[in-house]
Amino acid sequence: MLKRKKTKGKKRPIAVTVIGAAIVVLFIVRLYQVFKPLYDMGLFQLGMVGRQFYTSQGLTGMGWAIIDSASYFILAIGLVIVLIGFLRMRRWSWVMLMTWVGISMVVGLVDYFYVGQPNYVIMASDVVIAFALSQVEVQRIFGIRTDISELLS
Amino acid sequence: MNSSLDRPTAPVGTPDIDLLRQFEPVVRFTKGEQFFPTDVDRYVAECSLWAHYPDGREEIVVKQGELTLDKLVQQRPAVFGTVRFLRFIETLTLSEAAIALTEQAQLRRKLGNYFKVGMGRLARGGFLPRLADALFSLSFLLRGKVSSATAAAAELAFNRMHAEDEKYVYYGRVVRQNGWTVLQYWYFYCYNSWRSGFHGVNDHESDWEMVNLYLYEDEGELVPEWAAYASHDFHGDDLRRRWDDLQELDFVDGHPVIYAGAGSHASYFRPGEYQAEVTLPLPSWVNGITRAMNKFWTEVLDQPAGNPFRIPFVDFARGDGMKVGQGEKHAWSPELIDESTLWVSQYRGLWGLFARDPISGENAPAGPMYNRDGSPRGSWYDPLGFAGLDKVPPPFQALGYLQKSCDEVAARQTELDNLIPKKAGDLQELGIKLKGMEGNPHLAKQYAMLEKKSNALADEVKNLRRENSENTALLQGLTQRLERMKAGMQDDPRAHVRHLAVPVLAARVRFGRAAETWAAISLSLMLFAIAALVFFAPSFIWAGLVIIMILFVLAESILRGAFVETMTRITLLLALVSAFILFIHFWDIIVVGGLIALGVFLMWQRLRELTG
């Protein structure tokens, strides 16, 4: 039987583990957000039979709930993909995650200043991820920041 | 390309004017340059003389057409704070300004003297520096400013003078200081059109530029060793290049070549486009906040430093335009000056319009001998210090100084070689005495005195040994250098240069054309977007402004190939704001959580220590 070789060379710093944990937290929050609108509309209690999703006036409450749920589902799947890339220390996952966190924080801040009810758990996770991603050590591991000495060697 | 590798020499005793002529630089201008070195007599004849008083009043002293160099230097007592200045172009009416601008365009068409900007300076900076640049331009509404029409009228006036008598003048001065013979070349221009003609920092009437050549005496001949060109942002040692530094200096038959900045007339050793930076004049409290934030950004967050308030300007010194000097179509008309030249020493005022610009960028300069405030100009009274040569002896003296230093250190070493064993022996004698006194309580007083003496001697021996050790290393270094010099070996010609002026590479931007177009239209697009925001969603004005700004900065970063760096900066800024909000709302939980985490960490550490 063939044994999988362990990845050598790159040592995973603590910040990467912290970011991984924060992504898991975000994933759980998003998963909750996938089911909540459907639960609120009574989908699990009453089932889908006989439900209308669209009328001549536009989407019904159930239709909006499914769209909300689907978008959160896509976000959750995206997080899983980023998490896998991140744990394998791929450059694209760092860029994607930083961009994601940036957009998420813009949404969170607009929510805070204009609606008044941001999701503080997501905000906190975003802050932790942003600071952890900006660590020099993490940036170096993902090939974002390169030292002159590294370039010369 | 250098056409001459051998240094030309001149016999000691050569008349000053011939000496200046023999080494006079060739000046190469950028295509599109409108002003060339001219003589002050004709310029002054075109000017009026004015006085600006501390109460803000301005008074004409001598009218245009009546002013001569003799009248300029007449002593005129005035109250403290009075600024005397020349005025090359009188105040223009609206119709005169329109005529000047039209005729300027016609003149340029006739001469075919156009400047092609190429990759402009705006594309070289980022979006925020461009925004700062717009603020800088707006600052001219508050600061004094020389108008574009004045620049046009100056160009026309200069061309008229030039057509009457085409003459390219430099004012030369020869100074002998500390074994060096300094040839000082002063170039006078009627106008500095850097801002109006070449997208630069400032415009002002009149411009004085200067270049120094440093010669030393060797077997009855004067040999050139250094050339120093006055330039923006560089001082002292950074200004000079050694004569044999052929990667930096160009020559035409032994004459050094100067590449003059378009409009600014600053002097460069190599042709190209140089990036100068200007910091936006901000109130001190804003500068203080920026400094503190920069410190936090770089030291706490460990992010690369950056200053959005620095505006990049390009000084174009391409050398593809008119050329004056040896081997060129146009020759120099030199004139000797020194302290006895009255217009040099007796006129302390400005040589052009006093625009009342508080940061002086648009005010005309004073003459070769003085600063704008009338104080003596350093480059005039200390031409060696100007290029950091005050600490450098000429080569023939350097060898003597070095030999003398070697001899002095060697003599001291011989002295130490004798002194140290003697003192060390004395110390050992004292040690033996002290040892013999131990165990005899009645000798306590003598023991204490002797111990003090012994300690002092031990310190002395230690210091002598340290001096001996240091001198050994020093003597080694000096001897090696002496041997190198005797063998005719020279140092790296640029060893003294800390900041080297290097032309910017033409292709610094990833998508050149796209970035340039974006640079030209982005600010306007942003204003349109803000207008749409105010019209369609006024309740979201602040969030909208921030989002628009972020989107524009990100778009710019993609064009410049700096998306990751820019996005990291923006996300970190957002993270700081979010962290602040979280702290405001959950400070109690954060403090409690922090204390618990600290307690757990300490306990874990102690328990690990306990269990080994």
Query: Which chain B residues touch A97 with a CB distance below 8 Å?
Result: none
A108: which chain B residues are within 8 Å (Cβ-Cβ)? 578
Distance from CA of A108 to the nearest CA of B (A): 8
Q: Say if CB B73 and CB B341 are below 8 A apart.
A: no
Are the CB atoms for A27 and A77 separated by under 8 Å? no
Distance CA B579, CA A147 (A): 29
Output the DSSP codes for B166-178. Answer: --EEEEEEEEEET
pTM: 0.72
Q: Could you tell me if A135 lies within 8 Å of chain B, comparing CB atoms? A: yes
* Distance, CA of B126 to CA of B50 (rounded, Å): 42
What's the pLDDT tens digit per position in A6-18?
444 556 778 888 8
Q: Is B578 within 8 Å of A99 when comparing Cβ atoms?
A: no
Tell me: the pLDDT tens digits for B387-403? Answer: 999 999 988 888 889 99
Are residues B341 and B349 in contact, defined by beta-carbon separation less than 8 angstroms?
Answer: no
Measured between alpha carbons, how far is B419 from B416 in angstroms, rounded to an integer?
Answer: 5
B574–A106 CB contact, under 8 Å? yes
* Nearest CB to A98; choose among B567, B577, B585: B567
DSSP result, chain A: -PPPPPP-SPPPPHHHHHHHHHHHHHHHHHHHHHHHHHHHTTHHHH-STT---EETTEE-HHHHHHHHHHHHHHHHHHHHHHHHHHHTT-HHHHHHHHHHHHHHHHHHHHIIIIIS---HHHHHHHHHHHHHHT-HHHHHHTTSS--HHHHH-
Distance, CA of B214 to CA of B23 (rounded, Å): 10
SS3 B38: coil
CA distance A38 to chain B (A): 30
- pLDDT of residue B586 exceeding 90, the answer is yes
How many Å is the Cα radius of gyration of chain A?
A: 20
Is B580 in CB contact (< 8 Å) with chain A? no
Put simply, the answer to whether A102 touches B574 (Cβ < 8 Å) is yes
User: Hey, are the CB atoms on B543 and A109 less than 8 Å from each other?
Assistant: yes
**Subunit contact B579:A127, Cβ cutoff 8 A:** yes
pLDDT digits (tens, 9 = 90+) for B23-71: 999 999 999 999 999 999 999 999 999 999 999 898 999 999 899 999 9
Distances (CA, A) of B318 to A145, B118, B297: 35, 12, 38
Of B108-112, B349-353, B509-513, the poorest mean pLDDT is in B509-513
**ipTM of the complex in this document:** 0.81
Contact between B567 and A108 using a beta-carbon 8 Å cutoff: no
β pairing state of B180-192 and B168-177: antiparallel
Q: Is the minimum CB–CB distance between B607 and chain A shorter than 8 Å? A: no
Tell me what pLDDT residue B143 has.
58
Query: Which two three-digit tokens encode residue A122?
Result: 């997501």
B575·A124 Cβ contact <8 A: no
The mean pLDDT value of chain B amounts to 87
A59 at B interface, C-beta within 8 A? no
Least CA distance to B539: which residue of chain A? A114
Flag if B543 and A124 touch (Cβ within 8 Å).
Answer: no
Residues sharing a CB contact under 8 Å with residue B505, sequence separation 6 or more, in sequence order: none
Cα dihedral sign, A52-A57-A60-A64: positive
Q: Domain-by-domain residue ranges, chain A?
A: 14-152
Subunit contact A105:B582, Cβ cutoff 8 A: no
- Per-residue pLDDT, averaged over B247-268, amounts to 92
pLDDT attached to residue B451 = 94
Tokens of B457: 């001697």
**Nearest by CB: A108 against B547, B567, B578:** B578
B-interface mutation test, from A93, A97, A109, A117, most B Cβ less than 10 A away: A109
Write out chain B residues lying below 8 Å of A109, CB-based: 543, 574, 577-578, 581
- Cα distance between residue B9 and residue B3, in whole Å: 16
Task: Supply the pLDDT for residue B309.
Answer: 66
Q: Which residues of B touch A144 (CB under 8 A)?
A: 564, 568
CB pair distance less than 8 Å for A136 and B302: yes
B596 inside 8 A of chain A by CB: no
Query: How many angstroms separate the CA of residue A123 from the nearest CA in chain B?
Result: 7
Task: Assess B550–A contact: CB distance below 8 Å, yes or no.
Answer: yes
- pLDDT tens digits, A123-135: 998 999 999 898 8
Q: Is A123 on the interface with B (CB under 8 A)?
A: yes
Task: Tell me whether residues B543 and A110 touch, CB distance under 8 A.
Answer: yes
Asked if pLDDT for residue B144 goes beyond 80, the answer is: no
DSSP one-letter string for B82-135: -EEEEESSPPPPHHHHHHHHHHHHHHHHHHT------S-HHHHS-HHHHHHHHH
Instruction: Supply the pLDDT for residue A64.
Output: 85
| Cβ(B170)–Cβ(B162) below 8 Å | no
DSSP letters of B229-247?
A: E--TT--GGGGEEETT-TT
A59, A41 Cβ separation under 8 angstroms = no
Asked if the Cβ–Cβ distance from A131 to B586 is below 8 Å, we say no
In sequence order, the β-bridge partners of residue B336 are B172
Lowest mean pLDDT, pick from B198-212, B269-283, B345-359, B477-491 = B269-283
Q: How far is B238 from chain A (nearest CA, A)?
A: 25
At a CB cut-off of 8 Å and minimum separation 6, what does B513 contact? none
Residue B2, helix vs strand vs coil: coil
Distance from CA of A120 to the nearest CA of B (A): 7
Nearest C-alpha of chain A: how many angstroms from B564? 7
Chain B hits for A133, Cβ within 8 Å? 568, 571
Burial of B545: CB neighbours in 10 Å, binned 0-12, 13-18, 19+: middle
> What does the alpha-carbon distance between residue B121 and residue B167 come to, in Å, rounded to a whole number?
33
**Partners of B83 in the beta sheet?**
B52
Q: What percent of chain A has pLDDT over 70?
A: 87
Position B93 scores a pLDDT of 86
Contacts 24+ apart (CB under 8 A), B469-476: B471/B409, B471/B412, B471/B413, B471/B416, B472/B413, B474/B409, B475/B406, B475/B409, B475/B410, B475/B413
Taking 3-state DSSP, the helix, strand and coil percentages for chain B, each rounded to the nearest 5, stand at 50, 20, 35
- The answer to whether residue A107 neighbours chain B at the CB level (below 8 Å) is no
Beta carbons within 8 Å of A101's beta carbon, 6+ residues apart: A126, A129, A130, A133, B571, B575
Q: Would the CB atoms of A123 and B540 count as touching at under 8 Å? A: no
Decide if A134 and B547 are in contact by the 8 Å CB cutoff: no
Residue B572 C-beta-side C-alpha neighbours within 13 Å = 20
Side chain identity at B551, as an amino acid letter? L
DSSP letter string, B530-579: HHHHHHH-GGGHHHHHHHHHHHHHHHHHHHTT-HHHHHHHHHHHHHHHHH
A31 phi/psi in degrees, rounded to 5:
-65, -40
- Please tell me the predicted confidence (pLDDT) of residue B139: 64
Mutate to test the interface with B, among A98, A100, A104, A115 (most CBs of B within 10 A): A98
What integer pLDDT is reported at residue A2 of this predicted model? 46
CA distances from B296 to A26, A41, B305 (A): 29, 49, 10
Element (H, E) at B287: helix B284-295
Q: What are phi and psi of B582, to 5 degrees?
A: -60, -40
CA distance B243 to B224: 7
Per CB-CB distance under 8 Å, the chain A contacts of B564 are 95, 98, 144
Q: Identify the sign of the CA torsion A96, A99, A102, A107.
A: negative
Percentage of chain B with pLDDT > 70? Answer: 91
How close does chain A come to B566, measured CA to CA in Å? 10
Q: Which amino acid, residue B313?
A: F
Is the Cβ pair B586, A102 closer than 8 Å?
no
B535 touches chain A (CB under 8 A): no
pLDDT digits (tens, 9 = 90+) for B515-569: 778 877 888 898 899 999 998 888 888 888 888 988 888 888 887 777 888 899 8
Strands B83-87 and B48-52: antiparallel
For an interface test with A, which of B301, B541, B571, B588 has the most A Cβ atoms less than 10 Å from its Cβ? B571
pLDDT number for residue B18: 94
* Cβ–Cβ contact B586 with A under 8 A: yes
Average pLDDT (B371-388) is 92
A136 touches chain B (CB under 8 A): yes
For residue B137, the Cα-to-chain-centroid distance in whole angstroms is 22
> What is the arithmetic mean of pLDDT over B301-305?
77
Separation between Cα atoms, residue A114 and residue A108, nearest integer Å: 10
Cβ–Cβ below 8 Å for B575 and A130: yes
Closest CA to B547 of B572, B568, B524, B529: B529
CA of A99: which chain B residue's CA is closest? B567
Burial class (CB in 10 A: 0-12, 13-18, 19+), B142: exposed
Residue with tokens 């600052």, as numbered in its chain: B139
Size of interface A-B (CB pairs under 8 A): 69
Identify from A95, A100, A106, A136 which residue to disrupt to test chain B contact, counting B C-beta atoms within 10 A and taking the largest count. Answer: A106
Q: Out of B129-133, B198-202, B293-297, B316-320, which region has the weakest mean confidence (pLDDT)?
A: B129-133
Contact B203/B196 with Cβ under 8 angstroms? yes
Tracing tokens 């365009």 back to the chain, one arrives at: B105
8 Å CB contact of B568 and A113: no
B571, B579, B586: residue with CB nearest A98:
B571
- Element at B598 (helix H, strand E): helix B563-610
Q: Which residues contact B566 (CB under 8 A, 6 or more apart)?
A: B553, B554, B556, B557
B3/A80: higher pLDDT = A80
Please report residues of B whose CB lies closer than 8 A to that of A135.
302
Tokens 């962290």 sit on residue: B579
- Residue-level length of chain B: 612
